[in-house]
């Protein structure tokens, strides 16, 4: 698990992006993203502005209390909100057969898809989680229908572990069946990362 000895939610940079903590100014971008049915296709529903406001508050609390949470992806220079990517401890991990765990995840504004943003940001977070935080492994999961996210997991070199039923979705829900990937520290180093 993540030990709270260092800031687990730092400001990181990639070639093109800044990965940073959530701030109040991110609400409009988050709300726009969460209200887009294309972005939310593999989530139970789109979110209202008020629901995005609650989500932002939860993420800001998680940054403070847990030291880790999905983080904002913003454009270098302009700091324009593009989406989020990062590490997070699922709040329902006691219900996961593979818990406790640290998850890597991402979500982008629709007009930012297809530009390699999720992969670039996720590579940075994997390196931080496995090298700096020295986590044993990081998992990622998505509904089996979400081939775009699964392709990101594959580009990251993550290993497909199998499928599971998401414990927070009712039986028969179209998104209940999920695909599970993981990256262990050993696998990461074996791929030549150092």
Please report, for the chain, the start and end positions of each structural domain, with discontinuous segments joined by +.
Answer: 12-190
Beta carbons of 104 and 140 less than 8 angstroms apart: yes
pTM of the complete model beyond 0.85: yes
Q: Give me the sheet containing 177-184, strands edge to edge.
A: 12-13, 17-20, 70-75, 81-88, 103-108, 137-143, 177-184, 159-165
Bond before 100 cis per omega within 30 degrees:
yes
pLDDT tens over the chain, length 194 residues: 344 434 566 789 999 999 999 999 999 999 999 999 999 999 999 999 999 999 999 999 988 887 778 999 999 999 999 999 999 988 898 899 998 999 999 999 999 999 999 999 999 999 999 999 999 999 999 999 999 999 999 999 999 999 999 999 999 999 999 999 999 999 998 887 76
Q: Which CATH number fits domain 12-190: 3.40.50.970, 3.40.47.10, 3.40.630.30, 3.40.50.300?
A: 3.40.630.30
Q: Cα(56)–Cα(139) distance, rounded to whole angstroms?
A: 23
3-state secondary structure 119-148: HHHHHHHHHHHHHHCCCCEEEEEEECCCHH
Q: How far apart are CA 1 and CA 100, in angstroms?
A: 7
Question: Crossing angle for the helix pair 117-127 and 147-155, nearest 10 degrees?
Answer: 50
């Amino acid at each position: 698990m993540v030990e709270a000895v260092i800031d687990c939610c730092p400001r990181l940079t990639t070639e093109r992006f800044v990965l940073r903590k959530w701030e109040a100014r991110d609400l409009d971008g988050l709300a726009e993203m969460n209200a887009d049915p294309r972005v939310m296709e593999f989530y139970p529903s789109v979110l209202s502005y008020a629901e995005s406001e609650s989500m932002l508050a939860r993420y800001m609390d998680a940054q403070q209390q847990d030291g880790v949470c999905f983080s904002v992806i913003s454009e270098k220079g302009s700091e324009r909100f593009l989406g989020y990517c990062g590490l997070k401890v699922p709040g329902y991990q006691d219900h996961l057969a593979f818990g406790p765990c640290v998850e890597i995840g991402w979500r982008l504004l629709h007009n930012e898809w297809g530009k390699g943003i999720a992969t670039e940001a996720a590579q940075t977070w994997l390196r931080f989680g496995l090298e700096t935080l020295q986590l044993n492994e990081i998992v990622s999961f998505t509904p089996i229908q979400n081939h775009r996210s699964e392709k990101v997991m594959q580009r990251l070199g993550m290993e497909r572990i199998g499928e599971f039923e998401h414990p927070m979705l009712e039986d028969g829900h179209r998104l209940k069946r999920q695909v599970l990937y993981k990256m262990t520290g050993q696998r990461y180093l074996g791929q030549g990362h150092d």
